[in-house]
Amino acid sequence: MHVTLFKALKSIKIDDETATVVVDDMQRYVESVVSNGMQAVQGELAALRGEMKGLAAGMEALKHQVTLTGVLIGIVGLAIAAGPIVAKFIH
């Protein structure tokens, strides 16, 4: 881009010193825009990582709840199935 911009400035009769200043300023501007954009993207990525960690923790808690629910359903099912047998021994 530098050479193309410099040649374009020269083609419209801009002197070497002024063209060099313009090219250098353009370079700094582009670097600044890219740097600011990268910082914004890095900030968004950090926020997304935080959200992902929160989701992972929620999924882990949900996994434990599902396991506990399965155990409780098994206990209730066993109690229902064993109820008549236990009732025979009690009477």
- Per domain, the residue ranges of the chain are 2-90
pLDDT of residue 53: 96
Per-residue pLDDT 10s for the chain (91 aa) are: 688 988 898 899 999 999 999 999 999 999 999 999 999 999 999 999 999 999 999 999 999 999 999 999 999 999 899 888 878 888 7
Start-to-end CA distance of the chain, whole Å, equals: 96
pLDDT of residue 12: 94
- Report the candidate in 1, 56, 78, 67 with the shortest Cα–Cα distance to residue 34: 1
- pTM of the prediction? 0.53
Residue 53, H or E segment: helix 16-90
pLDDT of residue 1: 64
> Which token pair is 47?
């926020």
> Backbone phi, then psi, for 55, in 5-degree steps?
-65, -40
Question: Where do we find the tokens 């300023």?
Answer: 25
